[in-house]
Amino acid sequence: MHVLAIDTSTPVVTAGIVELTTDAVRVTATSTVSRTRAHAELLGPEVRELLRRAPAGIAAIVCGVGPGAFTGLRVGMVTAAALGHALEVPVYPVCTLDAIAALAGPGPFLVATDARRKELYWAVYGADGTRVAGPDVGAPDMVRAVAAEHGITRILGDGVLDGEVLACDPLGLVHAAEDAVRANTEPAALTPLYLRRPDAKEPAGRKRVSR
Amino acid sequence: MIILGIESSCDETGVGIAELGADGSVRLLADQVASSVGQHARFGGVVPEIASRAHLEAMRPTMDRALAESGLALSDVDAFAVTRGPGLAGALMVGVGAAKAYALALGKPCYGVNHLAGHVAADTLQHGSLPSPCLALLVSGGHTQLLLVEDLAGKITELGSTIDDAAGEAYDKVARLLELPYPGGPPIDKLAAEGDPEAIAFPRGMTGPRDARHDFSFSGLKTAVARWVERAEAAGETVPVADVAASFQEAVADVLTMKAVRAAEEYGIGTLLISGGVAANSRISGLAAQRCAAAGIELRVPRPRLCTDNGAMIAALGAALVHAGVAPTAMEFGADPAMPVELISL
Ligand SMILES: [Zn+2]
């Protein structure tokens, strides 16, 4: 069966078709387009091209739900939701850090990515690769402290903490949701992991205009 | 032909469905809106990130409700239309992403359209096709525009717009000043009914002999109201809020309708259309009716539900484009927060 994987929680538009056979997972078609802030423009044509390369259709969609600091995160999510609705296939949410962890081999390790504003998104994974802490957002020193607390020396992600560089890709996304996809279970709610409240200030008292 | 329209330029997630007849007539089949206005109230204005988050949450439920209302399935839709701009970038992206995905999954065309032209198109759902030319006055929290509409699907020209605050924005700011709830339009309108519109002579912005003829300005008016209230408070007087509201509303209505009717006369246009959230204001529509009647101009104001932001107006504009044989938008389009009104679709 073919699965469409989408993630737009980073500056990169990540999309691909992944084939799940009885005993393997392999990428049939993948496209990773790096152009910051162009998710709304690029994702549609990319998905159309990918769907063309899966003529028998797709059985499911796997969608990265962040954490992500870009407005583009919502483009991937709304696209996945609409495609799932129109094509009548389930859409499985995956924490983007889990997708990175899924390809990292045995743990323990900490995955960290750029959250902008001098902060990082992070999650800690145990020896068997399952998430044991996070996802959360914090300053680099705090994240290093979390790693030390868990006795972790292996750090990976987009290079923000000078660790191994490993990106979210279609294979990782599908790996992270593989059990649910294979079992065709009811997907969890497609809810974004913002981890921050919206920037908004309540207005202070009235400003005087008279001098 | 069934056209489904999606709107997400500000704080309303809208999905509308319209049927386009062979003669170009449009019939409204569904109009569903989810609003995040309540979440913005304590901030005194729309917070873009809150609006964007709400759009993502509301998109699917609103779509489901619209389909249920129309009794149609997604596969019955022949074309999609979506607001591409102008509006809030992050908010627009949600609607654009959804519309493109639906269109490509179903193999149907998608039109990326102009929100302002959508406000004009809304009226065709209630009063039928527009005469050519017609003049449109768009007034809302986000826009104040005077448009010359020669062809809804082909030629719209902006004659004038606000140089500072939108009319609805002025209402919100004055409402805050008078400690009335947000959005400010309805409470000021209600309070004004009990006040004297001639109690205070607030300035009429941009009406001097050297001011741009078709442009508007409401920032000076807002400041004048604030000054007046501060002066009254400093003098220990009780602020006559109903009179302030009525006099402020009179100044807004006076300028808007005077300029609209004058432009219609100057361009020899027989029909004035008023749309946008502020069109529902009783004094603005009332004074417009009076002045249009005196000038022999036909006034068209869609019902309030069609005046505010919604997906139905986008479906109606999409229908006009389909009927005119305009080519759909290529799949590569994105949101255009500053889309000029002259660009009706891409
Ligand atoms: Zn509007």
Q: What is the CATH number of the domain that holds B99?
A: 3.30.420.40
| Inter-chain touch A209–B227, beta carbons under 8 Å | yes
What's the whole-number average pLDDT of chain B?
96
**Residue B12 CA, ligand 1 centroid: distance in Å:** 9
pLDDT digits (tens, 9 = 90+) for B7-29: 999 999 999 999 999 999 999 99
| Inter-chain touch B102–A78, beta carbons under 8 Å | no
| B185 & B229 share domain | yes
Residue B46 lies in a domain: yes
> What is the pLDDT at residue A36?
63
| B155 & B256 share domain | yes
The domain total for chain A is 2
| A2 & A84 share domain | yes
CA distance A154 to chain B (A): 34
| A78 & A144 share domain | no
- Domain span including residue A37: 1-96+168-199
Cβ–Cβ contact B91 with A under 8 A: no
| A138 & A48 share domain | no
Cβ–Cβ contact B182 with A under 8 A: no
CA distance A31 to A29: 7
| B141 & B267 share domain | yes
Q: What is the mean pLDDT of residues A40-51?
A: 89
CA distance A150 to chain B (A): 34
| B48 & B110 share domain | yes
Residue A210 lies in a domain: no
Instruction: Mutation target for B interface from A7, A85, A202: give the one with most B CBs within 10 A.
Output: A85
| A2 & A76 share domain | yes
Residue A3 lies in a domain: yes
Number of neighbours of residue B162 by Cβ within 10 angstroms: 21
| B199 & B167 share domain | yes
| Inter-chain touch A44–B97, beta carbons under 8 Å | yes
| B79 & B151 share domain | no
- Domain span including residue B236: 134-304
Residue A129 lies in a domain: yes
The domain total for chain B is 2
| Inter-chain touch A74–B101, beta carbons under 8 Å | no
| A160 & A183 share domain | no
| Inter-chain touch A202–B104, beta carbons under 8 Å | no
Q: Which residues of A touch B50 (CB under 8 A)?
A: 198, 200
Residue A30, domain CATH: 3.30.420.40
| A56 & A89 share domain | yes
Surface-to-core class of residue B239, CB atoms within 10 Å of its CB (0-12 exposed, 13-18 middle, 19+ buried): middle
Residue B335 lies in a domain: no
| A2 & A73 share domain | yes
Crossing angle for the helix pair B241-266 and B185-192, to the nearest 10 degrees? 100
Residue B295 lies in a domain: yes
Residues with CB under 5 A from ligand 1 (ion): B 140, 309
CA distance B227 to chain A (A): 6
Q: What is the mean pLDDT of residues B38-42?
A: 89
Residue A207 lies in a domain: no
Instruction: Mutation target for A interface from B4, B43, B93, B173: give the one with most A CBs within 10 A.
Output: B93
Q: What is the mean pLDDT of residues B337-345?
A: 93
Per-residue b or e along A147-171, where b marks 16 or more CB atoms closer than 10 Å to that residue's CB? beebebebbbbbebbebeebbbbbb
In chain B, which residue ranges form alpha helices assigned H by DSSP?
Answer: 37-40, 48-70, 89-106, 115-122, 124-127, 167-177, 185-192, 219-234, 241-266, 282-295, 304-307, 311-323
| A4 & A65 share domain | yes
Share of chain B above pLDDT 70, in %: 100
Of A76, A87, A210, the CB nearest to B230: A210
> What is the pLDDT at residue B296?
97
| B287 & B315 share domain | no
**Residue B257 CA, ligand 1 centroid: distance in Å:** 19
| B159 & B13 share domain | no
Interface list for B 212-271 with A (CB within 8 A): 223, 226-227, 230-231, 234
Residue A114, domain CATH: 3.30.420.200
| A24 & A39 share domain | yes
| B267 & B225 share domain | yes
Residues of A with CB under 8 A from a CB of B: 38-45, 47-48, 51, 71-72, 74-83, 85-87, 192, 194, 198-203, 206, 208-210
CA distance B95 to B56: 8
| B21 & B157 share domain | no
Residue B212 has pLDDT above 60, yes or no: yes
| A19 & A90 share domain | yes
Number of neighbours of residue B65 by Cβ within 10 angstroms: 17
pLDDT band at B193 (very low <50, low <70, confident <90, very high): very high
| B316 & B296 share domain | no
Residue A37 has pLDDT above 70, yes or no: no
CA distance B118 to B101: 21
Residue A198 has pLDDT above 90, yes or no: no
| A82 & A140 share domain | no
Residue B336 lies in a domain: no
**Residue A129 CA, ligand 1 centroid: distance in Å:** 49
> What is the pLDDT at residue A39?
78
CA distance A183 to chain B (A): 24
Of A47, A48, A74, the CB nearest to B52: A74
- Say whether B40 sits in a helix, a strand or coil: helix
pLDDT digits (tens, 9 = 90+) for A10-34: 888 899 999 998 887 777 777 777 6
Residue B334 lies in a domain: no
Residue A28 lies in a domain: yes
Of B53, B100, B335, the CB nearest to A198: B53
Closest CA to B182 of B19, B73, B4, B44: B44
CA atoms within 13 A on the CB side of A169: 15
> What is the pLDDT at residue A205?
61
Q: Please report, for residues A63, B43, B168, the alpha-carbon distance to residue B278 in angstroms, rounded to integers and kept in the order given.
A: 40, 20, 6
> What is the pLDDT at residue A206?
63
> What is the pLDDT at residue A211?
55
| B298 & B314 share domain | no
| A2 & A62 share domain | yes
Residues 6+ apart with CB under 8 A from A55: none
Residue A39 lies in a domain: yes
pLDDT digits (tens, 9 = 90+) for B72-123: 999 999 999 999 999 999 999 999 999 999 999 999 999 999 999 999 999 9
Q: In chain B, whose CA is at the least distance from the CA of A71?
A: B90
